[in-house]
Amino acid sequence: MTKQESSARPQFAVEERVAEESVRMFDGIPSPAQATYWSIPGPVLFSVIAVLGLACFAYIVARRLAPLLRGERDIRFDRPLVRLQRVFQYWLGQWKHPRFRFAGTMHILIFAGFLILAFQAFSLLIVGNSGDAVIARFSENAGRSYGILKDYAATIVFLCMVIAATRRIVFKPARYEVPSRYGKGHRADAIFLLALIATLMVSESLFEACKASMQAQHGLQAELLAVLSLPWLLKNALSTVSAATLWNTYRGAYLVDVLTFYFLLCYRPFGIQFHVETSLFNVYFAKLDRGTVKPVRWGVDLDHVKSFGVKTFLDFTWKHMLDFYSCADCGRCSDQCPANAVGRPLSPRFLTTKARDYSFRHYPVVGAVANGTPLIGSIYSEDEIWSCTTCGACEEECPLLIEYIDKIVDLRRGMVDDGNVPKSLQKPLKALESRGNPYGKMEKKRAEWTKLADFQKSCAVPVLDGRQSAESLYFVDSITSYDDRMQSIGRATARILNHVGANFGILGPAEKDSGHEVRRFGEETLFMALRDANVEAIEASGVQRIVTSDPHAFNALKHDYRDLPPVEHTSQLIAREVKAGKIRFNPVEDGDKIYTYHDPCYLGRHNQIYDDPRQVLDAIPGLKRVEMGRSRDRALCCGGGGLMLFYEPKEDQRIGVLRARMAADAGANVIVTACPFCMVNMEDAIKVAGSEGKLTAIDLTELVDQQIARESVSEVVAGEQVVVTRQEGAPV
Amino acid sequence: MEILVCVRRVPDTAENEIELNRAGNDIERDDIVYSVNEWDNYAVEEALQIVAKSGGNVTVVTVGGEDDEEVLRREMAMGANHGVLITDEAFNGSDGRGIATILKAYIQKNKYDLILTGVQAEDGGAQVGGMLASFLDYPFASLVNSIEVLDHNKLKISREIAGGSKEMNEIDLPCVLSIQTGINEPRYVGMRGIRQVASLEIPTYGASDLGLDPNSVGDAAAKVKRTDYFLPALGKGAEILQGSREEIIDSLIGLLKSKGGLK
């Protein structure tokens, strides 16, 4: 500011004040929007800024929408009420945020502050009046309350910006680091954004403070400022300032506020802050059905689909592209990802940000668009896409409900379509095609597990081949049918079914692999062949319900198949029979045993069955159970089932070893699980970690079979009421 | 470049429990699943990679019956442009020489720049490639594990020789090469691919189409005849190393060194 200017100021201000006698007054003092700035009349200046700002924003958003309009179809307009409910829960209610207590709380505060201030911003920018004034038109008290609320909101947001910047600069949480293989870090960008928001808060508060001070100087009834809020502090700091300076600061703050607002508006679509705009839509259009996999193409007959899966960017659906824009890069997905935890070349966070950057490069705001380059080999590597266990931990964590599994499956479909499948997976896939199981074992040996001499005598397992029929079908699936170790789960299941008096049978040689992983590994056509064969066999068997001990088969039958009788996992059946008194347990004999329950992903996260298995365990007298640090919806995957057992990932250590360590850390010496694949991985991990003798793994069915009190059923019912000793308030 | 790949359908050793039949002259063939001979799969992949770079067509051919069409379709799903089935009752019981004679007759009626076979078949004796080259009077190289097209008349090829070193050769076209596994990574053939080629026409040729005298092939002309078929008795069991972990490691390293596995 030159001397001449500053000396001219007071004069200028006074003249202007006179001139503005005729203009609209704003709470007793002239509106800043009506003042003159460098000889430009305010209304002209702010109209130009507003039009330019909004036009820029509209243009940028239109360019950002360009790939979405060209992307693949996605059906997301159904069930509006369910979607609205999710908007209330996950967007307005910020449901996922407290899972990361510190960062989540900060986000809730900032989000709430933004909502309160958004009203203020729109009132100021559009109406030219502050938000409290707008509300005051309806009720003076409401206006005053809003004024105080918004003062505190600005203060809290400002403080959050300071804390967030301190975190970024001083504490540097590991979650935000970007390993060099995934690109450059974005700390500078993050801090710049925080600074912009802080500027917005300060300018707004300064404006309020000046206004209140001016009102006081003019002997008007000053607007009440919230005690200890930023405007209140600034007002006190300004108490001795001259009228001219106050007036200039008042206008200056308003100008800075307006400019920062529009700059931020147009800057956000270039990075992580875009989620401010997209999050509402992302949550509304989020996937509703757990455990499912999207079809190859929505609403298209597969015979007419030329190319399967995602090969280039435009093969993604518009919703999946919206996911890319919505990612706030908070890193919570990768923090929970088992593949990332053991150094596999996959980190869900970067799966998204790499695609977002690709989209920004190929669909730029300025310049020509370009699609075409295959994603695999450019932004993604093959190993990256095969590394995912589809455990769903990332999706469970994402506050914005971004989807990962469907994208991974789509990318795998693309690779399968191009014949790009690792050798380790080609053999089991070929065997699934010719023999219906990944091991290449003969179909006629699928029921061999029932033929162990001792077992056969005590427990009949009829094969439902048309000559025999039954009420329930036990769907065994490949691993339990053929794997020597897992066959024990099959026999335990059969004995339990027998004990509760179920009228059941198996499909035997007519059963094929459920195809659960075949589908999730991208071989959709093979999956459909397996599914069709199973559906036909199940229909022919005439059963009324299905039970399985394999959560992968359970998920496939429940979500990937259609029009089947109701499907249940054994843990559900056992829990029900325990409650009904049909199953009673002998007390645990070994008092040194401490049990922990490991949630299989496809029972827990994908199907929300967390309590049934725990209730069963807690019903066993004398059983001591502890929870691992990560359990229920945060349980760490065992390493992956189905075809994942054949895949040879690049990793520093096995995921299962991490999990076994968690069990040991929780003080457990027995890991109970309810999935044959978890069993494979946990038993391997125990060996690899050298924990044999210290740690064992057992399937829920095996434990139940071992502890079951084998009196006759009628005795149990006639006897004392079976008390389900569920431990209330068990740590979750 | 026009490339012909000779393929064969074999019982899949990974997906069958191979048992002798009652007569003891063959394996039990009921409930057996088949696949493309592993070496042939590498040969087709190599042919596809060559035409992807230098242009041309890949044709796959097999001598057999109707059931053998399955492997032709699988290779067509992989990307081969044409499939040819050579089938005739008269061909039954052919030995290696007979198969080479039949293939020679087919090749002479067409024009191929390059003919590939697998080094051997899982149920065969690595005979056909060499004999075929000889009958055609074409140059032949076996155990090929890399191919580079130099110009339209020449290839640069390599093969691994004992001890792991590689020998580089130049060979004139047309020629016959037998392809070793590991030359490439054969692409995956999905069920969708197989369905897409399910309705494609596969031409078949018999003895008369190829101008073959039935007496020159088949059982009648076979000079090598299988006389017996048996599973060898199990040898001595595996050796379990004893001792502390360090001792076991030391003796394992010693064993690997003495067998040439470590240098």
Does B35 lie at the interface with A, CB-CB under 8 angstroms? yes
**Residue B15 in contact with partner chain A when CB distance is under 8 A:** yes
Smallest CA–CA distance, residue A684 to chain B, in Å, is 19
Beta bridge partners of A545: A472
Q: Does the pLDDT of residue A178 top 90, yes or no?
A: no
Report how far residue B40's alpha carbon sits from residue B47's, in angstroms, rounded to the nearest whole number. Answer: 10
Chain B residues 144-183 with CB within 8 Å of chain A: none
Gap from B80 CA to chain A (nearest CA, Å): 13
The reply to whether B193 touches chain A by the CB within 8 Å rule is yes
B4 has pLDDT over 70: yes
CA-based nearest residue to B3, from B81, B114, B89:
B114
Given a cut of 50, is residue A343 above it in pLDDT?
A: yes
Residue partners of A464: CB distance under 8 A and separation at least 6: A470, A473, A505, A506, A507, A508, A541, A542, A543
For chain A, say whether B226 makes contact (Cβ under 8 Å).
no
Average pLDDT, stretch A233-248?
Answer: 86
pLDDT band at B263 (very low <50, low <70, confident <90, very high): low
If 0-12 CB within 10 Å is exposed, 13-18 middle and 19+ buried, where does residue B39 land? Answer: buried
Taking CB atoms and an 8 Å cutoff, what residues of chain A touch B193? 419
Query: Using CB atoms, which residue from A420, A440, A443 is nearest to B188?
Result: A420
Partners of B31 on chain A (C-beta within 8 Å) are 442-444
Q: Considering only alpha carbons, which residue of chain A is nearest residue B78?
A: A419
A550: left (phi over 0), alpha (psi -120 to 50) or beta: beta
Helix, coil or strand: residue A592: coil
pLDDT of residue A239: 80
For chain B, counts of helices (H) and of strands (E): 7, 11
Dihedral over Cα of A535, A538, A539, A540: its sign: positive
Task: Using CB atoms, pick whichever of B35, B78, B195 lies closest to residue A525.
Answer: B195
**DSSP 8-state assignment for residue A397:** H
Cβ neighbourhood burial of B233 (10 Å; 0-12, 13-18, 19+): exposed
Taking a C-beta distance cutoff of 8 angstroms, is the pair A66, A363 a contact? yes
Contact B33 A434 (CB under 8 A): yes
**Environment class of residue B124 by beta-carbon count within 10 Å: exposed (0-12), middle (13-18) or buried (19+)?**
middle
Angstroms from B181 CA to nearest CA on chain A: 13
- Which one of B15, B186, B189 has the shortest CB-CB distance to A435? B15
What residues 54-73 of chain B have any CB closer than 8 A to a CB of chain A? none
Classify residue A442 as left (phi > 0), alpha (psi -120 to 50) or beta. Answer: beta
Distances (CA, A) of A269 to A57, A108, A157, A349: 8, 22, 21, 18
> What HEC string does A350-377 produce?
HHHHHHHHHHHHHCCCCCCCCCCCCCEC
Between residues A490 and A119, the one the model is more confident about:
A490
Report pLDDT digits (tens) over A653-677: 999 999 999 999 999 999 999 999 9
Other CB atoms within 10 A of residue B54 CB = 13
C-alpha distance from residue B255 to each of A6, B240, B241, B252, B259 (Å): 93, 12, 10, 5, 6
Q: At B31, which amino acid appears? A: D
Give just the sign of the alpha carbon dihedral A458, A463, A469, A475: positive
Q: Which residues of A touch B79 (CB under 8 A)?
A: 419
Selected residue with higher pLDDT from B186 and A224: B186
Asked if residue A592 has pLDDT above 60, the reply is yes
What is the mean pLDDT of the segment spanning A121-129?
A: 67
pLDDT band at A129 (very low <50, low <70, confident <90, very high): low
Mean pLDDT across A381-409 = 97
Contact call for B190 and A416, based on CB within 8 A? yes
Q: What is the pLDDT of residue A722?
A: 37
Query: Which chain B residue has its CA at the smallest distance from A302's CA?
Result: B192
State how far the Cα of A384 lies from the Cα of A651, in Å rounded to an integer.
11
Architecture of domain B2-235: 3-Layer(aba) Sandwich (3.40)
State pLDDT tens for residues A455-487: 999 999 999 988 888 999 999 999 999 999 999
Quickly state the pLDDT bin for A6 (edges 50, 70, 90). very low
Q: Which among B16, B17, B188 has CB closest to A416? A: B188
Min Cα distance A650 → chain B (Å) is 18
Instruction: Give the pair of three-digit tokens for residue A167.
Output: 């975190």
Is B14 at the interface with chain A, CB within 8 A? yes
Tell me if B193 and A419 make a contact (CB, 8 A cut-off).
yes
Q: Please, what is the angle between helix A348-362 and helix A318-326, to 10°?
A: 100
Calculate how close chain B gets to A434, using CA atoms only, in Å.
Answer: 7
In B, minimum Cα distance to A442 occurs at B16
pLDDT for the residue A28: 67
CB contact under 8 A, B188 and A444: no
Distance CA A34, CA A128 (A): 9
Q: Where are the domains of chain A?
A: 78-274, 287-417, 436-577, 582-718
- In CATH terms, the fold of domain A287-417 is Fumarate Reductase Iron-sulfur Protein; Chain B, domain 2 (1.10.1060)
Chain B: closest CA distance from residue A428 (Å)? 10
Which of A124-128, A529-533, A693-697, B14-18 comes out lowest in average pLDDT? A124-128
Beta strands in A301-427 (DSSP E): none
Closest by Cβ to B191, choosing from A418, A433, A440: A433
pLDDT of residue B121: 92
Residue A2: what pLDDT? 40
B17 and A CB contact within 8 Å: yes
B11 touching chain A per CB within 8 A: no
- Average pLDDT of the residues in A577-601: 95
3-state secondary structure of B259: coil
A and B: number of Cβ contacts within 8 A: 56
CATH of A582-718, picked from 3.40.630, 1.20.1070, 1.10.20, 3.40.50, is 3.40.50
CB–CB contact B190 A434 (8 Å): no
Closest C-alpha among A318, A399, A298, A385 to residue A348:
A385
Which stretches of chain B are assigned E, i.e. beta strand?
Answer: 2-6, 9-11, 34-36, 57-63, 82-86, 114-118, 140-151, 154-160, 166-172, 175-179, 204-205
Residue of A nearest to B182 (CA): A423
Q: Could you report the per-residue pLDDT of A269-297, keeping only the tens digit for each?
A: 998 889 999 999 999 999 999 999 999 99
Same fold, A436-577 and A582-718: yes
Per-residue pLDDT band at A5 (split at 50, 70, 90): very low
Average pLDDT, chain A: 89
State yes or no: pLDDT of A213 exceeds 90: no
User: DSSP string of A126-180?
Assistant: IISS-HHHHHHTT-HHHHHHHHHHHHHHHHHHHHHHHHHHHIIIII--GGG---G
Q: How far off is chain A from B199, nearest CA to CA, in Å?
A: 14
Query: Which chain A residues contact residue B189 at CB under 8 A?
Result: 419
- Judging contacts by C-beta atoms under 8 Å, the chain B residues touching residue A426 are 186, 188
Confidence (pTM): 0.90
Asked which of A2-6, A208-212, A458-462, B257-261 is least confident by mean pLDDT, the reply is: A2-6
Q: May I ask the CATH architecture of the domain A436-577?
A: 3-Layer(aba) Sandwich (3.40)
- Do residue B15 and residue A434 have CB atoms under 8 angstroms apart? yes
Residue A444 with chain B: CB contacts under 8 Å: 31
| Greatest Cα-to-Cα distance within chain A, rounded to the nearest angstrom | 108
Confidence of residue A406 (pLDDT cuts 50, 70, 90): very high
Question: Which among B17, B33, B191 is the nearest to A526, CB-wise?
Answer: B191
Instruction: Specify burial of residue A629 (Cβ count, 10 A radius: 0-12, 13-18, 19+).
Output: exposed
Q: Please report the pLDDT score of residue A142 as a whole number.
A: 79
Do A419 and B188 count as a contact with CB atoms less than 8 A apart?
Answer: yes
Question: How far is the C-alpha of A95 from the C-alpha of A88, rounded, in Å?
Answer: 9
Q: Do A523 and B191 touch (CB under 8 A)?
A: yes
Whether A523 sits inside 8 A of B17 (CB atoms) is no
Q: Would you call B188 and A421 a contact, using CB atoms and an 8 Å cutoff?
A: yes
- Residue A501 is which amino acid? G
**Is A554:A601 a contact under the CB 8 Å cutoff?**
no
Q: How far is CA A263 from the centre of its chain?
A: 30
pLDDT recorded at residue A726: 36
Centre a 10 Å sphere on the Cβ of residue A20 and count the other Cβ atoms it contains. 17
* Tokens coding A562: 């259609």
Give per-residue pLDDT as tens, A35-79.
788 888 878 888 899 899 999 999 999 999 999 999 999 999 999
Q: What's the mean pLDDT in A568-573? A: 98
B15 interaction partners in chain A (CB closer than 8 Å): 430-431, 434-435, 440-441
Query: What DSSP character marks residue B127?
Result: -
Distance from CA of B124 to the nearest CA of A (A): 22
Q: Measured between CB atoms, does B190 come within 8 Å of chain A?
A: yes
Instruction: Sheet containing A594-597: give its strands across.
Output: A624-626, A594-597, A670-673, A696-699
Structure-block tokens of residue A220: 């008007």
Report the chain B residue with the minimal C-alpha distance to residue A521.
Answer: B190
Mean per-residue pLDDT for B62-69? 94
Question: Which residue is closest to A305 within chain B, CA to CA?
Answer: B192
CB contact under 8 A, A434 and B12: yes
Question: Which one-letter DSSP state was computed for residue A36?
Answer: E
What's the rounded Cα separation, in Å, for the pair A93 and A87?
8
Q: Does the distance separating the beta carbons of A431 and B191 come in below 8 Å?
A: no
**Whole-angstrom distance, CA of residue A434 vs CA of residue A532:** 15
Mutate to test the interface with A, among B12, B70, B188 (most CBs of A within 10 A): B188
A60 closest CA partner among A366, A500, A325: A366
Please check the confidence at residue B260 and state whether its pLDDT lies above 90. Answer: no
For residue B25, the one-letter residue type is: N
CB A656 within 8 A of CB A638: yes
Q: Which residue has the higher pLDDT, B50 or B20?
A: B50
- B238 touching A (Cβ < 8 Å): no
Asked if A475 and A557 count as a contact pair (C-beta separation under 8 A), the reply is yes
Domain ranges of chain B: 2-235
What gap in Å lies between CA A411 and CA A381, rounded to an integer? Answer: 11
Q: Helices A676-688 and A655-665 sit at what angle, rounded to 10 degrees?
A: 80
Residue A1 has pLDDT above 50, yes or no: no
The model's pLDDT over B126-158, given as tens digits with 9 standing for 90+, comes to 999 999 999 999 999 999 999 999 987 899 999
- For A483, other C-beta atoms within 10 Å of its C-beta total 20
Beta bridge partners of B60: B5, B83
Put simply, the answer to whether B33 touches A421 (Cβ < 8 Å) is no
Residue of A nearest to B33 (CA): A434
CB B32 within 8 A of CB B86: no
Q: Indicate yes or no: CB of A440 within 8 angstroms of CB of B14.
A: yes
Average of pLDDT values for B3-7? 97
Which position has the token pair 């150094």?
A343
